[in-house]
Amino acid sequence: MQAVFRNAMSRLGSPVVLVTTDGPAGRQGLTVSAITSVTDAPPTVLICLNRANHSHEAFLSNKRLGISILGKGHDDLAYAFANSQLTAAERFAHGPWHPGPLGSPLLDGALATLDCTIEDMHAIGTHDVLICRVHAITIDDGTRHGLTWFDRAFHHLPTRA
């Protein structure tokens, strides 16, 4: 059932984002495709993190995170942050960063960034579902295409004409 479920979910296109944190528990980041908006009043998103990921505890301890929504040209960066063999320092060497208002690293040139605090968490199976309150937003008004994950590969979505 698990393999069939994974195959079915690979047919569901997902956004590609980098989720980052910095604080007393250290600077960490990873590539995430399990993200969605929850509500716009107050602005809130939901992110799923695997508890086996080595950066998991840093997110929970720091209680804040940054979300950088990736676009065309960010494929290599997404792969670097998905690579469990790289250290946090090696991952962050792959892009230009600036601290968000709450201190989490945000990617320069991302389609949009969200600076968040973790408001709630629910454990389900192997993952924690994090409910995150958005405190600051930036949007790049350039014409870069969006980056999505579909059928186990990256694809670029065109902007509106």
Instruction: List pLDDT tens digits, range 12-67.
Output: 889 999 999 999 999 999 999 999 999 999 999 999 999 999 999 999 999 999 99
The DSSP H or E segment spanning 61 is helix 56-62
75 domain-assigned: yes
Classify residue 4: in a domain, yes or no. no
Q: How crowded is residue 21: how many other Cβ atoms within 10 Å of its Cβ?
A: 27
Q: Report the CATH number that the domain containing residue 52 is assigned in CATH.
A: 2.30.110.10
Question: How high does pLDDT run on average in the chain?
Answer: 94
Residue with tokens 């069939």: 4
Number of domains in the chain: 1
> Would you report the helix, strand and coil content of the chain in percent, each value rounded to 5?
15, 45, 35
**104-110: average pLDDT:** 96
Contacts of 94 (CB under 8 A, 6+ apart): 76, 77, 80, 81
- What is the structure's pLDDT at 108? 96
Residue 148 counted as domain residue: no
Global pTM exceeds 0.85: yes
Check residue 10 and report its DSSP letter: T
Residue 147 confidence (pLDDT) above 70: yes
Q: What is the pLDDT of residue 161?
A: 62
- Is residue 131 situated within a structural domain? yes
140, 159 Cβ separation under 8 angstroms: no
What is the residue range of 76's domain? 17-141
| Domain-embedded: residue 53 | yes
Does residue 79 surpass a pLDDT of 70? Answer: yes
Is position 45 within any domain?
Answer: yes
